Amino acid sequence: MVAVALRRGHHFSKAAAFEIDLLAGLGVAGDGHCGARVKHRSRARYNPGLVNLRQVHLIASELLDELRAAGFDLAPGDIGENVTTRGIDLIALPLGTRLRLGPDAIVEITGLRNPCIQMDRFMPGLMAATLDRDADGALVRKAGVMSVVIEPGRVQPGDAIAIALPDEPHRALEPV
């Protein structure tokens, strides 16, 4: 694990932290998206009773490297992620994959982050830079994955990440 981040209230970016506490069924303690019900503003306006499938946001540091090479000055947490990983192709993992973060915490991947206009408000052109097309022309969302906390625990940079795939057949991630 490269970095962890959180921020109170509803803000686009999150501040790097020495550690974060993951709370089962809620998310990152003290973070603006922590809660059993949806906290994403546009989704909450539509239906505040929805289950929060976006408790913990994970992004691969390789994406940040790619974006920096394209001219975007980004650090971990800048585009809203709570956990920055290295060496894991997060967006290729199937729905329901569980990640053990550090010695105790377990999150389950619920879907892809759907890049939105807030990215362009933060840095013009950032939204398009986090979208791509595969060989068949299908849209590829590269802005990380969302997850829910299954087992609580304290997580910090340098912690190991273990991957547990769900039973087959595997289902590809969709935006949540």
pLDDT digits (tens, 9 = 90+) for 65-91: 999 999 999 999 999 999 999 999 999
Question: How many separate domains does the chain show?
Answer: 1
- Rounded alpha-carbon distances, angstroms, from residue 82 to 99, 111, 113: 14, 15, 13
**Is residue 176 one of the residues assigned to a domain?**
no
Q: Whose CA is closest to 124, among 64, 78, 80, 72?
A: 72
Q: How confident is the model at residue 126 (pLDDT cuts 50, 70, 90)?
A: very high
**Is residue 175 one of the residues assigned to a domain?**
no
pLDDT (0 to 100) of residue 47: 67
Average pLDDT estimate for 142-162: 98
pLDDT (0 to 100) of residue 91: 97
**Is residue 172 one of the residues assigned to a domain?**
no
Provide the 8-state DSSP code for 23. E
Q: How confident is the model at residue 171 (pLDDT cuts 50, 70, 90)?
A: very high
pLDDT (0 to 100) of residue 136: 94
Identity at 49, one-letter amino acid code: G
Beta bridge partners of 100: 106, 162
**Is residue 34 one of the residues assigned to a domain?**
yes
pLDDT (0 to 100) of residue 41: 58
- For residue 82, the domain's CATH number is 2.40.33.20
- Angle 88-176-111 (CA atoms, 0-180°, nearest 5)? 25
pLDDT (0 to 100) of residue 43: 60
67 within 8 A of 115, measured Cβ to Cβ: no
**Is residue 173 one of the residues assigned to a domain?**
no
**Is residue 74 one of the residues assigned to a domain?**
yes
**Is residue 67 one of the residues assigned to a domain?**
yes
102, two tokens: 């550090």
Domain span including residue 35:
3-164
Average pLDDT estimate for 29-57: 82
**Is residue 10 one of the residues assigned to a domain?**
yes
Beta bridge partners of 59: 84
- The tally of CA atoms less than 13 A away on the side-chain side of residue 140 is 12
